[in-house]
Amino acid sequence: MLAPTLGALAMLAGVLTTWVVNTRPASEQDPDARFWYVFTGAWVVAPLVLGASVIDRGIGVATVAAVAGTVLAANKYSSRVFRRRVDAEHQSILAAEHSALAARHESVLRAWSRYELDPEAAINHPSMNDVGSPPTAALVRALAAAEDLRLQHPEQESGGVDAGYRQAVIELETAFRQAELAETRVPAIVEAPSLRTSRTSPQPQAGAC
């Protein structure tokens, strides 16, 4: 009974070592961790296999074959599980990046809508709603481009949110700042020279000849 027990323990140790080797080093960010896990697992498995072989050579050979088979199967399974976990984390990161860009996008929309929904802001800043103004026209184009790319929500092979949407949001923010800056530079209404002259010219005195 001792030889089969040692064989079973060797198989279990091989499976555990394979699982740890495939899952732990990546999370620990240690380039040497894989080597030490393999080294430690080998030191556990080797004496168990040797003990089973000393007790019963047939069981020892069977143990070696069983350990090799279980290690290969465990390696395949643990690698697949690890890839799924990495993919899930990757998708989570992409979703967070896209949400952050969408929040910046919405922030510009809310800021611009104030100039349309707030009567006082609309009166004081009329060019913000005038698509005939070049800065406002550029803002409208930037908004349309960003909105189109947000609905597409593509992903790059490089592992990040589509650079097109990121760039579109940056350009939208820039266009909005430029439109606001252009609005603040609009000159005040200047009185007509004739009106200014009529106000400043002296009035004739009553009774003058």
Residues with pLDDT less than 70, the chain: 25-31, 153-161, 185-209
* Burial (CB count within 10 angstroms: exposed 0-12, middle 13-18, buried 19+), residue 178: middle
Using an 8 Å Cβ cutoff, are 60 and 3 in contact? yes
pLDDT at 160: 53
- Rounded to whole angstroms, how far apart are CA atoms 87 and 85? 5
pLDDT at 30: 67
Using an 8 Å Cβ cutoff, are 127 and 186 in contact? yes
Using an 8 Å Cβ cutoff, are 41 and 16 in contact? yes
Instruction: Locate 199 and state its tokens.
Output: 């106000």
Coil vs helix vs strand at 161? strand
pLDDT at 142: 92
Coil vs helix vs strand at 155? strand
pLDDT at 82: 80
For residue 108, give Cα distances in angstroms to 79, 188, 201: 44, 27, 50
pLDDT at 189: 40
* pTM exceeds 0.85, yes or no: no
* Burial (CB count within 10 angstroms: exposed 0-12, middle 13-18, buried 19+), residue 54: exposed
